[in-house]
Amino acid sequence: MAKRPAAKADKKTFYITTPIYYASGALHIGHCYTTVCCDAIARFKRMDGYDVYYLTGTDEHGQKVQQAAEERGMSPQAFVDSLAERIKALWTRMDISNDGFIRTTDKAHEKAIADIFTKLYEKGDIYKSEYVGKYCEPCESFWTESQLVDGKCPDCGRPVKETKEECYFFRLGKYADRLKKLLTETDFLQPDSRVKEMVNNFIDKGLSDLAVTRTSFDWGIKVPFDPKHVIYVWIDALPNYITALGYGADGENFSKYWPCDMHVMAKEIVRFHSIVWPAILMALDIPVPKRVYGHGWIMFDGDKMSKSKGNVVDPFILTDRYGVDALRYFLLRAMPFGDDMQYSNELLLSSINNDIVNDLGNLVRRTFAMSRQYFGGAVKKPAADKLGGGDKKFIAEIDGLAAAVRADMDRPLVSKALERIFGLIDSANKYIDANKPWALIKTDTDRLNTVMYVLLDAIRVSANLLLPFLTAYPRRIFDGLGLPVPEDLSACAFGKVDAYKTTEIEPILNRLDIKKELSELEAIAAGTDKPDKPGRSDKPDADKDKAGAPEQISIDEFFKTELRVVKIEECVKVEKSNKLLKLTVFDGERRRTIVSGIAHCYAPEDVIGKNAALVANLKPAKLCGIVSEGMLLCSVGADGKPKLVEPKGEAGEKIC
């Protein structure tokens, strides 16, 4: 995540963003999909001569985050701090080349949002009124009756709640005509199928003004002139794309990179990006982004993979077993950009075996081995008159690849681009079979040199074009070719190298035993087993990055935790929270206040008089404005509900 050196002034700029992900739970391969796609596009554009700014980040305010923190008995700030670190660790693991990482709890962002809100209020585009209608808590969205699908949230399909509260509104309706023009008369929103959806389902049904504050919780940016109101999480989140560039502050990057070239996200939040976001920008007199791209979903058992539905696949586990390149490849190739894809471990494993191990791995392995066996690795560029018809046909394919991939990446059809590169790899494998180097060694070593050169050149051009997609193995290929790793695409054509001197490289991955892998992945998912990793050669150092698995601690570290029996003397519900109880416990020496996320399982009267197990030396944390002086231990049953651990003994006794 290091900053790249300042770009040359004459370079064209390219600004690309992922959504900022909710810091409410661990991210899964759905989030990796968007982030890896944007990474491939960003890396491609950099290699293609653009000055790229690639932004990702975390959405850290709002009720959903506050509740997730409460459930874990943590303060929202401590909770989002730990998740932001975990998310950054995931992007390091996935080799993401982002230039910026914005957190909505960054002070500069918070200030810029408060200023934007005030500006829109002073301009009259935000006004105060009362909201009566439906609210989807997980999506933090208000809906009108007509927008609901079967009475449920149209985004996530979950039940909505009747809500009535005083709040501020943004005059979204005022921008309906301009938005319709933007959507229907320009290429702003892609793919085209999403345009119809937005226009028919939202704009043509009548754009209501948008409720942009909440009073039911307090984890968010306060309205500066009316602090009992918290700014709606989407109004806080969407402008991250400009606040991260310094809009409202120094603004140097803002004038350089805005308007954004491409906002990428999945389809469920296209509405916010193609209607709400451009309307905010119009109200602020800022140019709208050039393109919003809404890709499909990775589905799991017919359902969208989602943190809150619990059907997630852990990218740390997958990359730990198969390497980053394999997961990047699968994500980028298996899902046609724009469509949905049904995920299964079987699909992942067979794509690894067929494409990565068989096609790419075998091509490189056997070509390198033959060049060493026949020529000690030294292969010279043949004279032009040595090339026959079959060679020229294949060379035309090599020469045409970069332009075709560029055209795909511009649209952006990422999986198509990768498919094309693997098309060349397939042709190279066929070229070996057609030219039979093992027979030429006996009859015509001059011809054999030509064949080996054409093959090594095809591998070189493929590896050059693969660099934005797979980040480890193509580099190794260049090592094996005896060449530096290229920084751009200028040599993606036949005959740019005079001579090769190949050396052996580690394979990308050994062939997987799919049956065995499937059962081991199932065992991991069931939490019953942690088998050894299969052999692979580009795995990151697992010991350096343990963000995906619980870290082991020493007995000394464990004994730093002071556990005590306490007696619960008083208990009340915490106002404004569904999850929290405020308890007064006696620890044998003094009374302490504890805030615990068990209100959905226990009424206050259920726990008064019980013994509980207290983590007595935990740093105090503020939850919903109350300082909690420790944490009560719970076991978690199969239903996911916490049950208080109720130790025997007197208040103050140590538990060890």
Is residue 583 part of the contact set for ligand ME8 (CB under 6 A)?
A: no
- Gap between the Cα atoms of 36 and 317, Å rounded: 17
Is residue 39 part of the contact set for ligand ME8 (CB under 6 A)?
A: no
Is residue 19 part of the contact set for ligand ME8 (CB under 6 A)?
A: yes
Q: Is 57 helix (H, G, I), strand (E, B) or coil?
A: strand
Is residue 34 part of the contact set for ligand ME8 (CB under 6 A)?
A: yes
- Gap between the Cα atoms of 260 and 182, Å rounded: 15
**110 backbone dihedrals φ, ψ, rounded to 5°:** -60, -40
Q: How far is the CB of 16 from ligand ME8 (least distance, A)?
A: 13
Q: Is 54 helix (H, G, I), strand (E, B) or coil?
A: strand
Residue 43 to residues 39, 49, 54: CA-CA distances in angstroms?
6, 10, 9
- Gap between the Cα atoms of 441 and 639, Å rounded: 67
First to last CA, the chain: 42
Binding to ligand ME8 in span 51-90, by CB under 6 A? 59
According to DSSP, the β-strands at 581-586 and 591-596 are: antiparallel
Q: Show the CA angle centred on residue 60, arms to residues 55 and 63, nearest 5°.
A: 145
Stretch that binds ligand ME8, among 28-36, 365-373, 452-460, 480-488 (CB under 6 A): 28-36
Strands (E), 574-616: 581-586, 591-596, 611-615
- Measured from the CB atom, the residue of 276 and 398 that comes closer to ligand ME8 is 276
Q: Which two tokens stand for residue 392?
A: 């020229």
Is residue 275 part of the contact set for ligand ME8 (CB under 6 A)?
A: no
Is residue 43 part of the contact set for ligand ME8 (CB under 6 A)?
A: no
Q: How far is the CB of 233 from ligand ME8 (least distance, A)?
A: 7
Q: Which two tokens stand for residue 15?
A: 């600004």
Is residue 33 part of the contact set for ligand ME8 (CB under 6 A)?
A: yes
- Measured from the CB atom, the residue of 19 and 597 that comes closer to ligand ME8 is 19
Stretch that binds ligand ME8, among 31-39, 107-115, 166-174, 433-441 (CB under 6 A): 31-39
- Measured from the CB atom, the residue of 63 and 450 that comes closer to ligand ME8 is 63
Q: How far is the CB of 305 from ligand ME8 (least distance, A)?
A: 4
- Measured from the CB atom, the residue of 30 and 548 that comes closer to ligand ME8 is 30
Q: How far is the CB of 492 from ligand ME8 (least distance, A)?
A: 30
Q: How far is the CB of 39 from ligand ME8 (least distance, A)?
A: 13
Counting residues that bind ligand ME8 (by CB under 6 A) gives 21
Among 21, 101, 117, 469, binds ligand ME8 (CB under 6 A): 21
Q: How far is the CB of 157 from ligand ME8 (least distance, A)?
A: 14
Are the beta carbons of 233 and 244 closer than 8 angstroms? no
- Measured from the CB atom, the residue of 34 and 147 that comes closer to ligand ME8 is 34
- Gap between the Cα atoms of 51 and 234, Å rounded: 29
Strands (E), 235-380: 262-266, 292-295, 298-300, 303-304, 341-343, 378-380
- Measured from the CB atom, the residue of 111 and 511 that comes closer to ligand ME8 is 111
Q: How far is the CB of 20 from ligand ME8 (least distance, A)?
A: 5
Q: Can you state the angle between helices 362-375 and 414-435, rounded to 10 degrees?
A: 40
Q: Which two tokens stand for residue 300?
A: 């799991």
- Measured from the CB atom, the residue of 268 and 410 that comes closer to ligand ME8 is 268
Neighbours of 7 (CB within 10 A): 15
- Measured from the CB atom, the residue of 309 and 533 that comes closer to ligand ME8 is 309
- Measured from the CB atom, the residue of 59 and 408 that comes closer to ligand ME8 is 59
Among 14, 31, 440, 571, binds ligand ME8 (CB under 6 A): 31
Stretch that binds ligand ME8, among 211-219, 265-273, 465-473, 614-622 (CB under 6 A): 265-273
- Gap between the Cα atoms of 78 and 205, Å rounded: 42
Binding to ligand ME8 in span 332-361, by CB under 6 A? none
Binding to ligand ME8 in span 225-264, by CB under 6 A? 237-238, 240
Stretch that binds ligand ME8, among 26-34, 71-79, 248-256, 519-527 (CB under 6 A): 26-34
Residue 23: how many CA atoms within 13 Å on its side-chain side?
A: 29
Radius of gyration of the chain (CA): 29
- Gap between the Cα atoms of 528 and 241, Å rounded: 42
Question: Which single residue brings its beta carbon nearest to ligand ME8?
Answer: 30
- Measured from the CB atom, the residue of 19 and 100 that comes closer to ligand ME8 is 19
Q: If 0-12 CB within 10 Å is exposed, 13-18 middle and 19+ buried, where does residue 410 land?
A: middle
- Gap between the Cα atoms of 621 and 648, Å rounded: 27
539 contact partners, CB below 8 Å, separation of at least 6: 319, 320, 323, 324, 533
* Kind and range of the H or E run holding 618: none
Stretch that binds ligand ME8, among 29-37, 143-151, 409-417, 484-492 (CB under 6 A): 29-37
Per-residue interface string for the shown chain with ligand ME8, residues 277-316, x marking contact by CB under 6 A? --------------------xx-----xxx----------
Stretch that binds ligand ME8, among 14-22, 319-327, 473-481, 611-619 (CB under 6 A): 14-22
* Kind and range of the H or E run holding 347: helix 345-351
Among 14, 15, 22, 322, binds ligand ME8 (CB under 6 A): 22
Among 20, 607, 623, 624, binds ligand ME8 (CB under 6 A): 20
334 contact partners, CB below 8 Å, separation of at least 6: 341, 347, 348, 351, 415
Contact footprint for ligand ME8 (CB under 6 A):
19-22, 30-31, 33-34, 59, 237-238, 240, 265-266, 268-269, 297-298, 304-306
